[in-house]
Structure 1
Amino acid sequence: MRLLLWTIRARVIRASVADDGMSTAEYAIGTIAAAAFGAVLYGVVTGDSIVNALTKIIEKALDTAV
């Protein structure tokens, strides 16, 4: 009985600690997420609404009386 408990405990510890290959998968997912975020950000910034909003802000700032 004691040997069985020791074996089960050892397997649980090994399963919870083993992370072979996890760092490569994490880097790959992080790289894909960063590229997707960059593509979305580029699409938003180059869209007409952002350009028009920034133009209005700049024009308003330049038209203010000092």
Structure 2
Amino acid sequence: MAEIKFEIMKTLGAISTSPKGWNKELNLISWNGKEPKYDLRDWAPDHSKMGKGVTLTDQELKALKDLLNSIE
């Protein structure tokens, strides 16, 4: 399996912490040297391991924000 390289360009914040200490975080991440995208996933406290997540472009993040703002 090919190694996945990533660089956390900016940490935007954590939205929750599991009992095991993992944080669900929103970060701006460059995957394999590509253009950074917004990324929401669980991370081990030292960022050595990660869970499954979702990556979003600027446009997708704005659409998600609009959708969340429309929820009452």
Higher-Rg structure is 1
- Structure holding more helix per residue: 1
Considering Cα pairs closer than 8 Å and 6+ residues apart, tell me whether 1 or 2 has the greater RCO.
Answer: 2
TM-score by length of 2: 0.28
TM-score by length of 1: 0.29
